[in-house]
Amino acid sequence: MSERAFATVYGPACMYGSLSRIGLLNVLRFLGSIPLGTVEALRFFVEEVGRMIVLLGLSAVWLLRPPFRGREFVRQLDFAGAQSVLLIVLTGTFTGMVFTLQTYNGMHRYGAEAMVGATVALGLTRELGPVLSALMVVARVGSAMTAELGTMRNTQQIDALTSMAVEPVQYLVVPRIFAVTLVLPLLALIFSFTGMVGAYFIASGWLGIDPASFMSGIRNYLGPEDITHGMIKAVVFGLMVSLVACAKGYYVTGGARGIGVATTRSVVLSSVLVLVSDYVMTSLMF
Amino acid sequence: MIVLEDVHKTYGRQKVLDGISFRIREGSVTTVIGTSGSGKSVLLRQMIGLEKPDSGTILIKGENIVNLSSRELNRIRRHIGVLFQEGALFDSLTVKENVAFPVREHLKLTEKQVQEIVDVRLTQVGLREHQDKLPAELSGGMRKRVGLARALALDPAIVFFDEPTTGLDPITRDVIYRLIEKTHAEDSRTYVLVSHDVGGVLRISDEVMMLRDGKIGWSGTPDEIRSTSDEAVRQFFTGSVNGPIRIE
- Tell me how many residue pairs between chain A and chain B have CB atoms under 8 A apart: 47
**Mean predicted lDDT score pLDDT of chain B:** 90
Residue from the list A151, A163, A167 with its beta carbon closest to the beta carbon of B82: A163
Confidence at residue A18, expressed as pLDDT on a 0 to 100 scale:
57
With contact defined as beta carbons under 8 Å apart, do A137 and A184 qualify? yes
Residue from the list A152, A156, A167 with its beta carbon closest to the beta carbon of B84: A156
Work out the average pLDDT over B90-108: 94
Residue from the list A160, A165, A166 with its beta carbon closest to the beta carbon of B84: A160
A164 interfaces chain B, CB cutoff of 8 Å: yes
Structural domain boundaries in chain B: 90-155
| Strand runs labelled E in chain B | 2-11, 14-24, 29-33, 55-60, 63-64, 80-83, 158-162, 190-194, 207-212, 215-220
Work out the average pLDDT over A179-199: 97
The nearest CA of chain B is from the CA of A162 a distance in Å of 7
With contact defined as beta carbons under 8 Å apart, do A160 and B88 qualify? yes
Confidence at residue A165, expressed as pLDDT on a 0 to 100 scale:
93
Pick from A211, A195, A191: which is nearest to A203 by CA?
A211
Q: What is the pLDDT of residues B17-73, one digit of tens each?
A: 999 999 999 999 999 998 888 889 999 999 999 999 999 999 998 899 998 988 899
Q: What is the pLDDT of residues A25-50, one digit of tens each?
A: 888 887 777 777 788 888 888 888 89
Structural domain boundaries in chain A: 1-33, 39-285
Q: What ipTM was predicted for this assembly?
A: 0.91
B70-74 contacts, C-beta under 8 A, 24 or more apart: B70/A167, B73/A165, B73/B49, B74/A165, B74/A167
The nearest CA of chain B is from the CA of A149 a distance in Å of 11
Task: Please state the three-class secondary structure of A110-167 as a single string.
Answer: CCCHHHHHHHHHHHHHHHHHHHHHHHHHHHHHHHHHHHHHHHHHHCCHHHHHHHCCCC
Residues 60-119 of B with CB under 8 A from A: 70, 73-75, 77-78, 80, 82, 84-86, 88-91, 101-102, 105-106
Residue from the list A151, A155, A164 with its beta carbon closest to the beta carbon of B77: A164
Cβ contact (<8 Å) for A156 and B74? no
The nearest CA of chain B is from the CA of A8 a distance in Å of 53
Q: What is the pLDDT of residues B112-146, one digit of tens each?
A: 999 999 999 999 888 999 999 999 999 998 999 99
Q: What is the pLDDT of residues B169-213, one digit of tens each?
A: 888 888 889 989 988 988 889 999 998 888 888 889 999 999 988
Confidence at residue A197, expressed as pLDDT on a 0 to 100 scale:
96
Work out the average pLDDT over A238-260: 95
Burial zone of A136 (CB within 10 Å; 0-12 exposed, 13-18 middle, 19+ buried): buried
Cβ contact (<8 Å) for A165 and B90? no
- pLDDT above 90: residue A177: yes
Pick from B32, B63, B70: which is nearest to B214 by CA?
B32
With contact defined as beta carbons under 8 Å apart, do B159 and B190 qualify? yes
The nearest CA of chain B is from the CA of A118 a distance in Å of 46
Could you give the CA distance from residue B66 to residue B68 in angstroms, rounded to a whole number?
A: 6
Confidence at residue A19, expressed as pLDDT on a 0 to 100 scale:
54
Confidence at residue A140, expressed as pLDDT on a 0 to 100 scale:
96
Give the chain A residue nearest B72 (alpha carbons). A165
Q: What is the pLDDT of residues A100-149, one digit of tens each?
A: 999 999 988 888 888 899 999 999 999 999 999 999 999 999 999 999 99
- pLDDT above 60: residue A15: no
A151 interfaces chain B, CB cutoff of 8 Å: yes
Residue from the list A155, A159, A166 with its beta carbon closest to the beta carbon of B105: A166
Could you give the CA distance from residue B181 to residue B38 in angstroms, rounded to a whole number?
A: 26
Q: Which of B44, B70, B74 to mutate against chain A (most A CBs within 10 Å)?
A: B74
Confidence at residue B248, expressed as pLDDT on a 0 to 100 scale:
67
Confidence at residue A5, expressed as pLDDT on a 0 to 100 scale:
54
